[in-house]
C-alpha cells in the first residue's frame, strides 16, 4: 500500500476504461476494500478489459479476514494476509495514525503483536490464501522507535509464509538494504514478490539473482520515475508482475484520480514500451509469472 494517490479537487471521477487487452492478465496487488463500489462491479469492470484475476491484499487482521472471505467467495480473487509494516508498531505502541481500521487503541505491547500474528498464521493456512503480505519495512512513516516491532513482525511473517508454503509479499519503502538484509538472515520463501517495486536497476539485479519477483505499479508511468523504468528494463522478463495497488498509484495520464484493477492495461502497455516488446508478449509473460508467483 502506498499513499501517492491525490485527492485533488475535481479529480474524483474514475478514469475511462482502457482498450481491452487481447491476452488476459492478473492484478497482482489490490485493495478492493478501499475502493468505491462492490467487489462484483470491480471484478466485472476488470474482466471487461482483460484483467481476469486479482490478488486482494490485507493490511491488518480485519482486512486480512475480509481478503480471505472475499477470495473464498470469488474464483477470480486470491488473498494475501498480513499486518502491514506500519500496523506492527501501532499494535505495540498504540499509535492511531496510519492504515488501521480501529483508530486509537491502548498500547498492547509485544503480547498484542503476537496475538495478531497468530491470527494471520491461522488465515495463512487457508487454501484460498495464496500469499503472506504485505509485510516488510517502511522507514517513510515509521521512525526509529517503531522499527523494532516492524522488523519483528516482518521476521514472523517470513516464518509463517515458509511454514505454510505461501508467497511472501514485500512492502519496501525507503528500506531497501534492511529488507534485503532480513530476507538474507531469515532465508526467503520459495516465492517472494516485491510489491510496488521501488528500487533501482542495481537492486533489481540483486533481486533477480535471488529469484525474487518484481511487481510494477502505475508509478512506473510517472515522469519522475525513470529509475523504475530502468529497473524494469533490466529485470528478467520471467520475474516481472503488474499491479494497481488500487486505490493508490493511478497510472498516467490519470494520476490523482481513483485507481482500480480495470486500469491495469494502461500500465501493461507502458511496461511493454519500456521493454521494447508488443503488449501481447508482455501480457503473456505477466499472466504466466503471476500464476507461478502465487501458485494458482
Determine phi and psi for 147, rounding to 5 degrees: -75, -30
Burial of 178 (0-12, 13-18, 19+ CB in 10 A): middle
In a domain, 149, yes or no: yes
The SS3 assignment for 29 reads: strand
Angstrom distance (rounded) from CA 114 to CA 211: 30
Per the CB < 8 A criterion, the answer to whether 254 and 266 are in contact is: yes
In a domain, 116, yes or no: yes
In a domain, 150, yes or no: yes
Task: Report the CATH number that the domain containing residue 47 is assigned in CATH.
Answer: 3.20.20.140
In a domain, 25, yes or no: no
Per the CB < 8 A criterion, the answer to whether 247 and 262 are in contact is: no
Angstrom distance (rounded) from CA 148 to CA 61: 20
Domain that holds residue 130: 32-293
Higher-pLDDT residue of 124, 109: 124
Angstrom distance (rounded) from CA 73 to CA 43: 12
Nearest to 245 by CA among 219, 227, 208: 219
Number of residues that this document lists for the chain: 296
Tens digit of each residue's pLDDT (9 = 90 or more) over 30-88: 999 999 999 999 999 999 999 999 999 999 999 999 999 999 999 999 999 999 999 99
pTM, entire model: 0.92
Chain centroid offset of residue 63 CA: 14
In a domain, 1, yes or no: no
Per the CB < 8 A criterion, the answer to whether 2 and 225 are in contact is: no
Rg (Cα) of the chain, in Å, rounded? 18
Tens digit of each residue's pLDDT (9 = 90 or more) over 223-237: 999 999 999 999 999
In this model, does residue 6 exceed pLDDT 50?
no
Chain centroid offset of residue 272 CA: 20
In a domain, 227, yes or no: yes
Q: How many domains does the chain have?
A: 1
In a domain, 10, yes or no: no
Per the CB < 8 A criterion, the answer to whether 1 and 134 are in contact is: yes
Tens digit of each residue's pLDDT (9 = 90 or more) over 176-202: 999 999 999 999 999 999 999 999 999
What Å distances lie between residue 190 and 89, 168, 203, CA to CA? 27, 9, 19
Per the CB < 8 A criterion, the answer to whether 210 and 189 are in contact is: no
- Identify the pLDDT of residue 27: 98
In a domain, 27, yes or no: no
Quote the Cα angle for 140-129-116, to 5°.
Answer: 55
Q: Percent helix, strand, coil in the chain (nearest 5)?
A: 45, 15, 40
Share of the chain above pLDDT 70, in %: 92
Angstrom distance (rounded) from CA 239 to CA 275: 13
Amino acid at each position: 500500500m502506498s499513499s501517492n494517490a491525490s485527492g485533488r479537487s475535481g479529480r474524483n471521477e474514475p478514469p475511462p476504461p482502457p482498450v481491452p487487452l487481447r491476452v488476459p492478465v492478473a492484478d497482482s496487488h489490490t485493495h478492493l476494500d478501499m475502493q468505491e463500489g462492490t467487489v462484483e462491479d470491480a471484478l466485472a469492470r476488470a474482466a471487461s478489459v482483460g484483467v481476469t484475476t486479482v490478488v486482494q491484499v490485507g493490511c491488518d487482521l480485519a482486512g486480512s479476514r475480509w481478503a480471505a472471505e472475499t477470495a473464498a467467495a470469488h474464483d477470480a480473487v486470491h488473498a494475501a494476509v498480513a499486518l502491514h509494516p506500519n500496523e506492527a508498531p501501532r499494535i505495540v505502541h498504540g499509535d492511531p495514525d496510519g492504515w488501521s481500521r480501529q483508530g486509537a487503541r491502548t498500547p498492547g505491547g509485544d503480547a498484542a503483536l503476537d496475538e495478531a500474528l497468530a491470527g494471520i498464521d491461522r488465515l495463512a493456512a487457508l487454501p484460498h490464501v495464496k500469499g503472506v503480505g504485505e509485510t516488510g519495512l517502511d522507514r517513510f512513516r515509521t521512525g526509529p522507535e517503531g522499527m523494532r516491532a516492524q522488523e519483528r513482525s516482518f521476521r514472523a511473517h517470513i516464518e509463517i509464509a515458509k511454514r505454510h508454503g505461501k508467497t511472501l509479499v514485500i512492502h519496501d519503502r525507503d528500506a531497501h538494504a534492511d529488507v534485503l538484509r532480513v530476507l538474507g538472515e531469515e532465508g526467503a520463501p520459495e516465492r517472494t514478490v516485491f510489491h510496488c517495486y521501488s528500487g533501482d536497476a542495481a537492486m533489481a539485479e540483486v533481486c533477480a539473482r535471488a529469484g525474487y519477483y518484481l511487481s510494477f505499479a502505475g508509478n512506473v508511468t510517472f515522469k519522475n520515475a525513470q529509475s523504475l523504468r530502468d529497473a524494469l528494463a533490466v529485470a528478467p522478463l520471467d520475474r516481472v508482475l503488474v499491479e494497481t495497488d488500487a486505490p493508490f498509484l493511478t497510472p498516467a495520464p490519470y494520476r490523482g484520480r481513483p485507481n482500480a484493477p480495470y486500469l491495469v492495461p494502461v500500465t501493461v502497455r507502458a511496461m511493454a514500451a519500456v521493454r521494447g516488446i508488443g503488449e501481447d508478449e508482455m501480457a503473456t509473460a505477466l499472466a504466466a509469472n503471476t500464476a507461478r508467483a502465487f501458485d494458482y
